[in-house]
Structure 1
Amino acid sequence: MNKFLFFVLLLSGHVAFAQNQQADSLNTKAEKENFSDDWAALTKYQKENEILPLPTKREKRVVFLGSSIFEFWKQKDPEYFNRNNYVDRGISGQLSPQLLIRFRQDVINLKPKAVIILAGSNDIAGNTGHVTIDKIMDNIKSMAELARLHHIKVILCKYLPVYEYPWNKRIKAADSIVDLNEKIEAYSKERNYTVLDYWTPLVDERKGQRAELTVDGVHPNLAGYKIMEEVTDAAVKRAFKNWH
């Protein structure tokens, strides 16, 4: 009788242990990795950068650093980047300080001969109350100085025209973009950097983007990007004019 009771108790213990284990396995979920510290989204291109071979000695690699304008460009016309030595490192929505944080990983470490920097529109569109044109320029200047320090040719972009942001129509975008572009052009001339003018070939009478060249007044359509490709190639040639 004692043996039988001992066996029953032992069996009950095993069943309870198994049930507890099953309950624990159901309640235990794989923890999602927390990327809240990666404010600049360095993980976005980390793996691509790791497998990207270093350029050959005579290769004129050019990195495009910017936000959605550059990221969507490669999606709309990937062949443009594939047939050239162009590396797209655009991340939608990014502000100029985020581009600055990414500059070492997504530009310097890739050993390009030139970098094209398109920055400032998302800063203006955010309307946080803390962004000024001068602060945007500080970030652009820091990126340009880092590039020059590492013998990377600097190509600074006059931003595309924007009449208003569909998601934030309170912003007087057109005049702010003009102000930013004037400062970028003046700084570029002072430091002998190449200016890439995306504003002039896309602008309409309201200082916005021509309707036939844009999807939303901010981002170009394929026709708009084709025009940008022409002026980009011309600017890259100017930047490399004295390159050997």
Structure 2
Amino acid sequence: MKNLKATVFLLLFLCLYSFSNAQDWPNFNRYRKDNAELGLPKKGETRVVFMGNSITDFWISNFPEYFSENDYIDRGISGQTTPQMLVRFRADVINLKPAVVTILAGTNDIAGNTGPSTLEMIADNIFSMAELAKANGIKVILCSVLPAFDYPWKPGLEPAPKIVELNKMIKKYAEKNDCIYLDYFSAMVDDRLGMKAEYSGDGVHPNKEGYQVMMPLCDAAIKKALKK
């Protein structure tokens, strides 16, 4: 009887935990406290927010000083797709009053993390974030999706050609809508349209060497955006 009660209690707890997490689908709670503590930019502060998924999320873990020394703010959440980012964009970007936002998103949509998405759906979400930012006086850097030959957590989807097509859409939009296009893809791609082995352990997420390729490209794009 005790074992049965313990099992029922555990199942009830797991159901409530799952239900609670489902209610915060965009994961507002991840940065709610940090955003409140951060407040508005101080006088002379040129704030830059990085919106993204695990690639952005892991960046600050590998190079925390890159963010702390440059007034860069990491708002990446591992596993997220563009609709989730779009929902939390006001809380995690606009309300922080940055001068610039970099948006690096789309690979998890291609992987189907929150369900099937067409390239047009993914692009629309990215463009909507860009338009929200611009409407609030924030300069926009649209990043290319990083190359990936396959996804270890969902193999067989053949993402490489889809990433190429999505990047073409992002670049075209950036050129027509006064955004900066930040091309990480060309610097990191191999002859299979995947990521160069020296830049990643799993073919999707950059290692330290990969981030070291990305950082000067990102700095140059931010500098260009601030001059606009």
Instruction: Please list, as runs of the form range in 1=range in 2, the aligned pairs for 1:59-208 lying within 5 A after superposition.
Output: 59-126=45-112, 130-208=116-194
Which one of the candidate residues 216, 219, 222 is aligned to 2:205? 219
Aligned equivalents of 2:85, 2:114: Cα separation in 1: 18
Q: Secondary structure of the residue that 1:209 maps to in structure 2?
A: coil
Partner of 2:223: 237
How does the TM-score come out when normalised to structure 1? 0.84
Aligned equivalents of 2:42, 2:114: Cα separation in 1: 43
Cα RMSD (Å): 1.9
Aligned equivalents of 1:40, 1:223: Cα separation in 2: 30
Q: Percent identity?
A: 52
Range with bigger deviation, 160-169 or 212-221: 160-169
- Contact 2:109–2:116 under 8 Å retained in 1: no
Aligned equivalents of 1:109, 1:129: Cα separation in 2: 28
Deviation sequence 1:171-203 (CA, Å, 0-9, x none): 111101000000000000010100111101111
Residue 168 of structure 1: how far off its partner (Å): 1.6
Aligned equivalents of 2:21, 2:110: Cα separation in 1: 26
Q: Which runs of 5+ in 1 are unaligned?
A: 1-26
Aligned equivalents of 2:76, 2:48: Cα separation in 1: 13
The 1:39–1:165 alpha-carbon spacing in structure 2 relative to 1, beyond 3 Å, is same
The 1:99–1:129 alpha-carbon spacing in structure 2 relative to 1, beyond 3 Å, is closer
Report the AA paired with residue 222 of structure 2: V
- Contact 1:127–1:171 under 8 Å retained in 2: no
Range with bigger deviation, 124-133 or 139-148: 124-133
Report the AA paired with residue 155 of structure 1: I
How does the TM-score come out when normalised to structure 2? 0.90
Q: Secondary structure of the residue that 1:240 maps to in structure 2?
A: helix
Aligned equivalents of 1:237, 1:49: Cα separation in 2: 24
The 1:175–1:41 alpha-carbon spacing in structure 2 relative to 1, beyond 3 Å, is same
Deviation sequence 1:134-162 (CA, Å, 0-9, x none): 00011011111100110000100011111
Report the AA paired with residue 98 of structure 1: Q
Aligned equivalents of 2:223, 2:35: Cα separation in 1: 25
Range with bigger deviation, 146-155 or 160-169: 160-169
What is the count of residue pairs matched by the alignment?
A: 215
